[in-house]
Structure 1
Amino acid sequence: MKLNRRHFAFAIMAAAGLAIAAPASADVLDNITSKKKIRVATDLGIPPFGMLDGSLKPTGSDVEVAKALAADWGVELEFVNTTGPTRIPNINTDKADVVISSLSITEERKKVVDYTKPYSFIRTTVIAPTNDTTKSWEDLKGKSIAVVRTTAQDVALSGEREKQYGFTVIRFDDDATAITAAVSGQATYLGLADPQMRTINERSSNRKFEAKLVISQFPIAMGVKKGENKLLDKLNEWISTNAKNGKLNGYFKKFHNIDIPNEILQ
């Protein structure tokens, strides 16, 4: 039987339709299992969650979690170095299988990524030198609190809370400037996340800072490409097991020197 141009065109269209209907790639968990390798997107520039040690090897609390996950699953671990803005694009473009990189849970991100259960957390606090006697918000009346402009701390402290407790918010343009202000003595009270306080204490030889008041706490979860339900379920099972046996808290406390609140892991 001869195919005329119309038949040939229909054949091409049918083939194209099948190609469109077919999945673009295999299931991510199936890929991990078959290749015996998991690719984890981790920012190695945000200590103590992710960083490089003196031998330029990855370390940090998120790194420990990724290593433990790969070991328990019996697969090779490959770190895909990322930054904050590229964490989710890395999984959505199949450059990585999962994000384990201080990814806090937000409603906006839920539109483009599926979250696991929380495995970690990050908090923001008002910090001050260890010899400062601040114990309540009322103790900050008349004081100035330095924040980085437009951060969650800036939003949380400005406005009503600022008026209610009588302190003044002063703003720096970036973390580096705020950290320098603390180390140099220019700022005594700051609203920062725990990693920034750690950096201040590493750089300051004259005085050490500690958290005085908690501003807010954000649960941190792993992120996977939307629709990867098998991978999501398996990760959640692993997180639940290691939350109960205390290993997740151990990985976190090793680098942050504080415990993950029970309500975060529950």
Structure 2
Amino acid sequence: MTILNSITRRGFATLFAAGMTTAFLSTSTASAATPDEIKQSGTLRVGVLVDYPPFGGTDANQQPAGYDADVAALLAKSLGVKLELVPVTGPNRIPYLLTNKIDVLIATFGITAERAKQVLFSNPYSALTIYVLAPKSLKVKGPEDLKSVSIGVARASTQDTAITAMAPQGTEIKRFDDDATALQALISGQVQALGASNTILAQLTKDYPKMEIEPKITLKSQANGMAFSKSNTALQEYANTFIAEIEKNGELSKINERWFGAPLGELPPMPKL
């Protein structure tokens, strides 16, 4: 009897704990804040990356700063509330959202069908764009001009695949172990052009302005969206209207120019999910 009672008690405790965990997750997810609730609370909690500048980094005081933080500040201003920036990482972005630690993710979050199974996405507000980059003086207008140009890329990267498929036969493509090494090859003159993202372009514009590096060919764009819990269609709709407004009035372009050294180009369309 004692053993049976003990098993019963342990079984009940296990079931109780499991039930409480389920209830907690269910409650957390269900309580995602709508625009009206955020206005009533007076604070918008936004998850941002701090390890991926200039989209998400830190300032001199080690506070979150970057493109995403600036967009978050405009969103909080639009709602008329204070902004609380919550640092997140790639792996914990979705768990933070689904357990109600934040109201929205603005964290360089690529819009994909797989992620859309867990979260709602806004329309794109930024793009991670892959280019062929080169000095302004180098005449490259299209793929056919690459035959006479040496191009550096990170081996097996997205840009390596795209340039290999696009460039005319005989194009000199030099492959390096990573983006940093390929970047140094451009700076040192080992190559004339570079396959890289707009984050690398921003670094070159800031640290090596005399090189006058500019995009020559756009290879690929990844649409980034804000993310919300599945039940939070109200905040998703508010965000879509907000994004359209700041794109139209030029505020989003100003943010892009601040962090990437160039006006905002046309945002990619919402991917088909």
In the superposition, relative to structure 1, how do residues 90 and 154 fare at CA in structure 2: closer, same or farther (>3 Å)?
Answer: farther
Q: Tell me which residue corresponds to 2:193.
A: 189
CA shift, 1:190, in A, is 0.9
Deviates more, 1:131-140 or 1:76-85: 76-85
TM-score, normalised by the number of residues in structure 1: 0.79
Q: Tell me which residue corresponds to 2:263.
A: 258
CA shift, 1:140, in A, is 0.8
Q: Tell me which residue corresponds to 2:27.
A: 24
Q: Tell me which residue corresponds to 2:117.
A: 111
Consecutive unaligned residues in structure 1, runs of 5 or more:
none
Mapping of 1:1-266 within 5 angstroms?
23-25=26-28, 26-30=30-34, 32-158=38-164, 160-162=165-167, 164-204=168-208, 207-256=211-260, 257-261=262-266, 264=269
Instruction: Give me the whole-angstrom Cα distance separating, in 2, the residues matched to 1:187 and 1:82.
Output: 36
In the superposition, relative to structure 1, how do residues 41 and 165 fare at CA in structure 2: closer, same or farther (>3 Å)?
Answer: farther
Instruction: Give me the whole-angstrom Cα distance separating, in 2, the residues matched to 1:66 and 1:114.
Output: 17
CA shift, 1:125, in A, is 0.8
CA shift, 1:141, in A, is 0.8
Which string of whole-angstrom CA distances, capped at 9 and with x for unpartnered residues, describes residues 127-152 of structure 1?
11222122221111153322223332
**2:141 maps to amino acid:** K
In the superposition, relative to structure 1, how do residues 21 and 62 fare at CA in structure 2: closer, same or farther (>3 Å)?
Answer: closer
Consecutive unaligned residues in structure 2, runs of 5 or more:
none
Q: Secondary structure at the match of 1:28?
A: coil
**2:146 maps to amino acid:** L
CA contact 2:64–2:87 (8 Å) conserved in 1: no
CA contact 1:183–1:203 (8 Å) conserved in 2: no
Instruction: Give me the whole-angstrom Cα distance separating, in 1, the residues matched to 2:268 and 2:99.
Output: 33
TM-score, normalised by the number of residues in structure 2: 0.78
CA shift, 1:239, in A, is 2.1
CA contact 2:222–2:268 (8 Å) conserved in 1: no
CA contact 2:149–2:192 (8 Å) conserved in 1: no
CA shift, 1:197, in A, is 1.7
Which string of whole-angstrom CA distances, capped at 9 and with x for unpartnered residues, describes residues 90-143 of structure 1?
323433221112222223322332210112223211011222122221111153
Instruction: Give me the whole-angstrom Cα distance separating, in 1, the residues matched to 2:166 and 2:257.
Output: 31
In the superposition, relative to structure 1, how do residues 254 and 198 fare at CA in structure 2: closer, same or farther (>3 Å)?
Answer: closer
In the superposition, relative to structure 1, how do residues 35 and 174 fare at CA in structure 2: closer, same or farther (>3 Å)?
Answer: farther
CA shift, 1:166, in A, is 3.5
CA shift, 1:43, in A, is 1.6
**1:44 maps to amino acid:** V
Instruction: Give me the whole-angstrom Cα distance separating, in 1, the residues matched to 2:121 and 2:59.
Output: 29
